[in-house]
Structure 1
Amino acid sequence: MSSTSSVSTKVVIGIGVTTLATGLGYWYYLQWKKRNAVPEKWRRVGTLEQINLFPIKSCAPLKLADDTEFDCDILGLKYQDCRDRTLMILNDSNAMVTARVYPRMVLIGTKLVAPQRLELSAPGMETIELDLGALKAEGEQIKTMVWSTAMQVRFVGEKYDKWLSKFLLDKESGMRLVHYPLEKPVKAINSRMVRQPYILKDDRGTFNDATSYMLMNLASIDELNTRIPRPMEPLQFRGSFQLKMDTDEPYAEDHWQWVKIGDEVIFRVVAPCTRCIFPNINVNTAARDPDGEPLNTLKKYRLFKGYATPAIGIHLGLRSAGSIKKDAIVYVEDK
């Protein structure tokens, strides 16, 4: 074979490979676009019974009136200048702490006493106010971890460190309050979620474990409560949204792909929410359940293929921003 023929053959093969790769790439793009196309038809499944915004990770939700309107954006729920999980507690080694180790964190309450002033309260403690408007993107920045993902955070102030240390440790130091200083999600996708085909980088949230939003079906919790000796409160699952179904359909959420709340806000279901020991903590007393419930019961019937721990609830990724209120109608895709 002449050198000219050899070159021609290589060119033809190269063109063929390039054409095939381009064709496959376009096919995958079409499949991705199809999977992520927002539904045109919806069906009603219920209403929002409760909306939970947690200013401090692992602590109690913000106390607000029932008619409060929340904004939903890529960082999570927002009301006035208060955002979901943009505050977090570290130990003196700058490692994240949660109520899994310090259950009394669930007793730390928060309420807005002015648009930018967040009041912190706890049993046996004087209240302390935090000026949310004074939290800046400048100042001392340190590195910490939210589970397996690295984060850059900034300290809030020494007086809050002392207050938290006194309540959680009965010491003058040992706990530090930090805030999330950015206007977009930056941490890596949680290692448990990287294989999920629908999760996007904007779904990662602030100090959230996995995603900015999570929905609990109250019918599923009611069914779970029939299996355990001491009924638990829905808040122990710390969902952003608590859905009251129009009909009694526990675990219907396992099969949903899209959720719409009200007229504007649309979510993609990106993964089931796997569970640790956190739901075993009573939100009113901070006591751990003596029998390890509900986690031990969930392990008996809610283990999904590919997951090491049981799942209840669904992680959501925001696809259309907007405002929501309690009692808003909740829809899912109408197949």
Structure 2
Amino acid sequence: MPTLAAIYRYPVKSTAAEALGTARVQQEGLAHDRRFMVVKPNGAFVTARRYPVLQTITARFDGNRLTLVHDDQVAVAESVAQFERQRFETGVWADDFAAWTTTLRLDAWVSRIIGEPVHLLWLGEQSPRFRDTLGVRVSFADGYPLLLTSEASLADLNARTDGTHVMAQFRPNVVVSNTEAFAEDGWTRIRIGEVVFRVDAPCSRCVMITVDPACGERRDDGEPMRTLLGYRKGTDNQVYFGQNLVAENEGEIRIGQTVEVLD
């Protein structure tokens, strides 16, 4: 049976993954997942596509306190109670909405790593970003609340390339084992623990997958995008790897649970 092999969340958009044993699934995605985002002074969002060094930041957030760690900086931590909470206009792709400022200390800390002035925004207790096309609120994620990948699909990719790629390059929330390669492409609804998920659409990939998460630098050889272009390109010329999920209810999931394919 397909099994939940790993759970990851990213408290700050584009930073390193936090591995979990259990997680609470909410409408916006995993609890505390992508509830913070780096933006430029004009509100434009900043990601590891252009600033791959973001992936070398480790973030932890428990709902009350955010901690940021980086090898080149003294760790910084601030509580939600310390946030300035000034309304700040921003957006993700075509979605425009307002988030909240955190602290000047956090802004300065991230700015030193990025190498230019930026702000670190907080989504708030509840996301103000409602996506009509999905019928749910979404975090600072690119477009969907959650992303699923499978170990077999990654193994299939690695069998076709000279190098070895890791799951962190694809930034999933849930990873499934005990399947055939790309079996997830044929799923439309699944259940993990207490939660039923709609498998809404395949995930189109970008230059982000060429970033080595261990060092925060983009690979010179263009892999694994070059290999995926050879066998995972759709009729729209987009490269697909993984499936976007929308939770139909809230609940808890944990590693080792069966992934039941409903449809």
* Residue equivalent to 2:135: 201
The 3-state SS of whatever aligns with 1:316 is strand
Give a deviation string over 1:290-315, Cα, whole Å, max 9, x none.
1111112111111223x341101000
Q: Per residue, is there more strand in 1 or in 2?
A: 2
Q: Does residue 6 of structure 2 align to residue 50 of structure 1?
A: yes
CA distance in structure 1 between the partners assigned to 2:158 and 2:35 by the alignment: 32
The match for 2:100 among 154, 179, 202 is: 154
Over the aligned positions, Cα root-mean-square deviation in angstroms equals 1.9
User: Could you tell me how far apart the structure 1 residues matched to 2:26 and 2:214 are?
Assistant: 30
The residue that corresponds to 2:53 in the other structure is: 104
- Matched with 2:225 is 295
Helix, strand or coil for the counterpart of 1:273?
A: strand
Change (3 A) 1:129 1:299: same
TM-score by length of 2: 0.93
The 2-side partners of 1:115 and 1:152 are apart by 19
**CA-CA distance at 1:185 after TM superposition:** 5.2
The residue number in structure 2 matching 1:143 is 89
Give unmatched runs, 5+ long, in structure 1.
1-44, 195-199
Shift of 1:133: 5.0
- CA contact 1:75–1:185 (8 Å) conserved in 2: no
Structure 1 residue 118: Cα displacement:
2.5
Q: Distance in 2 between matches of 1:123 and 1:163?
A: 12
Q: Which residue of 2 aligns with 1:217?
A: 150
The letter for the 2-side match of 1:155 is T
Q: Distance in 2 between matches of 1:93 and 1:108?
A: 23
Which residue is 1:180 aligned to? 123
Amino acid at match of 1:116: N
- Where does structure 2 lack aligned partners over 5 or more consecutive residues? none
Cα distance in 2 between the residues matched to 1:127 and 1:84 = 20
Residues 1:76 and 2:15 are matched in the alignment = no
Q: Distance in 2 between matches of 1:91 and 1:186?
A: 19
Higher RCO (C-alpha 8 Å, min separation 6):
2
> How far apart, CA to CA, are the structure 2 residues paired with 1:237 and 1:177?
23
TM-score, with normalisation over the residues of structure 1?
0.74
CA deviations on 1:158-179 (whole Å, 9 max, x unpaired) are 111110111120x6xx111001
1:143·1:153 contact (CA, 8 Å) conserved in 2?
Answer: yes
Please say which structure displays the higher CA radius of gyration. 1
Q: Displaced runs of 4+ in structure 1, greater than 3 A? A: 132-136
- Native 8 Å contact 1:154 1:179 kept in 2: yes
Contact 1:274 1:309 in 2 (8 A): yes
Whole-angstrom distance in 1 between the partners of 2:239 and 2:196 = 26
Contact 1:71 1:323 in 2 (8 A): yes
Name the SS for the 2:160 alignment partner.
coil
- Over 3 Å counting, the alpha-carbon distance change for 1:160 and 1:74 in structure 2 is same
Are the equivalent residues in 2 in contact too, given 1:63–1:110 (CA < 8 A)?
Answer: no
| Partner Cα separation in structure 2 for residue 53 and residue 148 of structure 1 | 23
Give the drift of 1:227.
1.4
1:273–1:312: 8 Å Cα contact kept in structure 2?
yes
What percentage of residue pairs aligned between the two structures are identical? 30
In 1, the alpha carbon distance for the partners of 2:88 and 2:51 equals: 22
Matched positions, count = 263
- Counterpart selection for 2:189 from 258, 263, 266: 258
Alignment of 1:1-335 (within 5 A): 45-62=1-18, 64=20, 66=21, 69-78=22-31, 83-111=32-60, 116-135=64-83, 139-169=85-115, 174-181=117-124, 183-184=126-127, 186-188=129-131, 200-202=134-136, 204-245=137-178, 247=179, 249-262=180-193, 264-305=194-235, 307-333=236-262
Partners of 1:178 and 1:185 lie apart in 2 by 13
Pairwise CA distance, 1:239 = 0.6
* Distance 1:63-1:266 versus aligned 2 partners, 3 A rule: closer
Opposite residue 49 of structure 2, the aligned amino acid is R
